[in-house]
């Protein structure tokens, strides 16, 4: 309710509520047509019994009208239902995407505990299942309740009373009582037989998502797998994932066996049972053939309505499993949101400062489990400085992630330069699918930079040979070698010309001479910008004004412990 409830009270609530009311009205119309066809059947069998041809033609004309109205109502009902299903799915997908993509939660979720594996599958598939099934089940339940109320009255009026042999007592509306006993017994037994189905369905959806993710991972890393000849391992892993799917499928099959076998027998007996029970009254002349057939049809309608739980058990299990997966992802993202809003002593306090400097005050970095890696780092970096960062690679990269807002685990303060652009250049730049010009302009639109600026950036980065391909579309992170990709990342950096640049080993694919040359280009083209670079090549030291060497703590400490009086985490030659 916390996740889905706001949809029904959103800014478009009147349109949504109007669609819901229209669906209710159309469902009532479907029930009305079912009642009409019940009485039409009664008249048909009475006319056949009376062998009246003139009345038969009138009934045929009436049926044509019922037929046309049924098609119109059903078509309109389907259209409105599918619109509402898509609209609710769109709203919920947007809401979860907003949370998933906000404040780097899509990245931080990888390091937090909880049930949120395959978040992309939960957003793309489980939301679809949950919303579609929920609306379909709600409408079928409403239809069943309306049918129940309507056909109880019909069955009471046509079934009469059943005399108890040897007594003067009669059982009024005995067919209604039999319908309740028939459906009630079937529902209870069906629920008991179908109980294993819910767990089996949940498990199957999880392993199906794991298989999709594993195959997608192999596709995304196909080049590395091919170069290392890892196809056999990937094949075995895919086989193992599919074996999990097979086991989950078999568990679900066993879950279905009992319920399907029972449902088949239950449904086979249903059309015959009321006729056999009411046949003595017909033979005795207490009811006409039309009334007998109407009673049998009303009995079937009533028991079908009462059997709604057993008939929809599989769909209920599927809907519940998908809803649980969506809510689990939503709750874990709420925990990240609560962490971000927690007191500063329990997280890294990241916010804009007042000047044009980067200030780290009492900064400690920790693992998600709370184990401290770096403690009490204090430093100030002024605009225009050139800082080389080395030492422990995980600490150096962790520092960049903390400044970028990707790593909230730790404590202390980070004050960003106020109102100044900051760009982070990772070791392997992200090159989205599409034209090369779009990849260079990312995250801006394609026409954000002029052709002359793009040409100049490509020339400075040493990839002018790619200029004729600016309008081509390709999978650039696959067709280009790593060195060319890193040069494109630098070209994009030069295009954006930020005030602050954080570079994470973005030239490690170059030779020594090429790396020094590219560093000189960066400093020349980004004059006035602050450049902080993670590198472990001593040949670059001469190009920087400061060097920061980060080492891990000498002993295991946790975030809840008091800070060490003399930390051994920082050396600044």
CB atoms within 10 A of CB 44: 21
Task: Please say whether the beta carbons of 287 and 165 come within 8 A.
Answer: no
DSSP 302-344: HHHHHTHHHHTHHHHHHHHHHHHHHHHHHHHHHHHHHHHTS-G
To which residue do tokens 């793309």 refer? 124
- pTM equals 0.63
Q: What is the mean pLDDT of residues 546-560?
A: 75
Burial group, residue 502, by CB count within 10 angstroms (0-12, 13-18, 19+): buried
Residue 568's pLDDT is: 34
Structural domains of the chain ordered from first start:
346-550 (3.40.50.300)
Residue 546 has pLDDT above 50, yes or no: yes
Residue 560 has pLDDT above 60, yes or no: no
Q: Which is nearest to 500 in space by CA: 573, 436, 422?
A: 422
Highest mean pLDDT among 160-164, 166-170, 492-496: 492-496
Q: Give the full edge-to-edge strand order of the sheet including 348-352.
A: 348-352, 410-416, 357-366, 372-382
Q: What is the pLDDT of residue 114?
A: 67
Evaluate if residue 561 carries a pLDDT over 60: no
Compute φ and ψ for 280, nearest 5 degrees: -55, -40
First to last CA, the chain: 57
Residues paired with residue 532 on neighbouring β-strands, in sequence order? 387, 502
Provide the CA 113 distance to its chain's centre, in angstroms. 18
Which tens digits make up the pLDDT trace of 48-70?
A: 877 877 788 888 888 899 999 99
Taking residue 276's Cβ as centre, other Cβ atoms within 10 Å add up to 10
Helix axes 313-340, 231-269, angle to 10 degrees: 130
State the Cα–Cα distance between residues 373 and 364, nearest whole angstrom: 7
Closest CA to 494 of 453, 437, 535: 453
pLDDT in tens, 163-190: 666 565 666 667 777 777 777 777 777 7
Instruction: Find the helix or strand (DSSP H, E) in which 165 lies.
Output: none
Q: Among residues 521, 519, 520, which one has the least CA distance to residue 533?
A: 519
Nearest CA to 373 out of 505, 244, 564 is that of 564
Lowest mean pLDDT among 32-41, 154-163, 274-283: 154-163
pLDDT digits (tens, 9 = 90+) for 288-328: 777 777 777 777 777 778 778 777 877 888 888 888 888 88
Confidence of residue 571 (pLDDT cuts 50, 70, 90): very low
Pairwise CA distance, residues 495 & 498, whole Å: 9
């Amino acid at each position: 309710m916390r996740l889905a409830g706001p949809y029904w009270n959103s800014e478009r609530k009147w349109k949504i509520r109007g669609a819901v009311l229209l669906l209710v009205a159309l469902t009532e119309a479907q029930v009305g047509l079912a009642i009409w066809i019940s009485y039409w059947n009664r008249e048909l069998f009475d006319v056949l019994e009376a062998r009246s041809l003139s009345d038969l033609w009138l009934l045929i004309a009436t049926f044509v009208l019922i037929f046309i109205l049924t098609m119109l109502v059903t078509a309109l009902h389907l259209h409105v239902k599918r619109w509402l299903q898509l609209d609710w799915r769109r709203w919920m997908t947007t809401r979860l995407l907003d949370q998933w993509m906000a404040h780097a939660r899509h990245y931080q979720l990888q390091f937090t505990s909880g049930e949120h594996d395959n978040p992309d599958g939960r957003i793309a598939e489980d939301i679809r299942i949950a919303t579609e099934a929920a609306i379909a089940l709600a409408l079928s339940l409403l239809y069943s309740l309306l049918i129940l109320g309507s056909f109880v009255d019909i069955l009471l009026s046509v079934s009469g009373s059943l005399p108890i042999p040897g007594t003067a007592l009669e059982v009024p509306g005995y067919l209604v009582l039999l319908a309740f006993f028939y459906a009630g017994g079937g529902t209870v037994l069906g629920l008991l037989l179908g109980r294993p189905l819910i767990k089996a369905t949940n498990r199957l959806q999880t392993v199906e998502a794991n298989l999709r993710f594993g195959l997608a991972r192999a596709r995304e890393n196909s080049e590395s797998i091919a170069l290392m000849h890892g196809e056999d391992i990937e094949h075995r892993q895919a086989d193992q994932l599919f074996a999990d799917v097979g086991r989950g499928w078999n568990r679900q099959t066993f879950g279905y066996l009992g319920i399907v076998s029972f449902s088949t027998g239950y449904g086979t007996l249903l059309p015959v049972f009321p006729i056999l029970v009411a046949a003595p009254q017909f033979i005795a002349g207490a009811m006409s053939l039309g009334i007998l057939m109407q009673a049998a049809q009303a009995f079937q309608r009533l028991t079908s309505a009462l059997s709604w739980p057993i008939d929809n058990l599989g769909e209920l299990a599927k809907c519940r499993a998908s809803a649980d997966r969506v809510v689990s992802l939503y709750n874990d993202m709420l925990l990240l949101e609560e962490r971000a809003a927690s007191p500063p002593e329990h997280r890294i306090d990241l916010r804009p400062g007042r000047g044009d400097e980067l200030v780290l005050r009492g900064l400690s970095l920790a693992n998600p489990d709370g184990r401290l890696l770096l403690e009490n780092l204090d430093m100030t970096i002024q605009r225009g400085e050139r800082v080389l960062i080395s030492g422990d690679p995980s600490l150096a990269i962790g520092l960049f992630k903390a400044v970028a807002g990707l790593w909230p685990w730790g404590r202390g303060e980070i004050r960003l330069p106020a109102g100044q652009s900051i760009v982070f250049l990772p070791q392997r730049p992200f090159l989205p699918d599409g034209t090369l010009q779009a990849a260079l302009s990312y995250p801006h639109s394609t026409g954000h930079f002029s052709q002359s600026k793009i040409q100049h950036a490509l020339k400075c980065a040493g990839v002018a040979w790619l200029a004729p391909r600016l309008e081509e579309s390709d999978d650039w992170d696959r067709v280009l070698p790593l060195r060319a990709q890193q040069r494109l990342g630098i070209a994009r950096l030069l295009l954006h010309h930020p005030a602050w640049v954080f570079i994470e080993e973005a030239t490690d694919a170059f030779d020594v001479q090429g790396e020094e040359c590219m560093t000189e280009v960066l400093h020349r083209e980004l004059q006035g910008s602050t450049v902080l670079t993670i590198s472990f090549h001593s040949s670059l030291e001469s190009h920087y004004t400061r060097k920061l060497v980060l080492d891990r703590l000498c002993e295991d400490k946790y975030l809840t412990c008091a800070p060490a009086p003399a930390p051994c985490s920082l050396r600044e030659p």
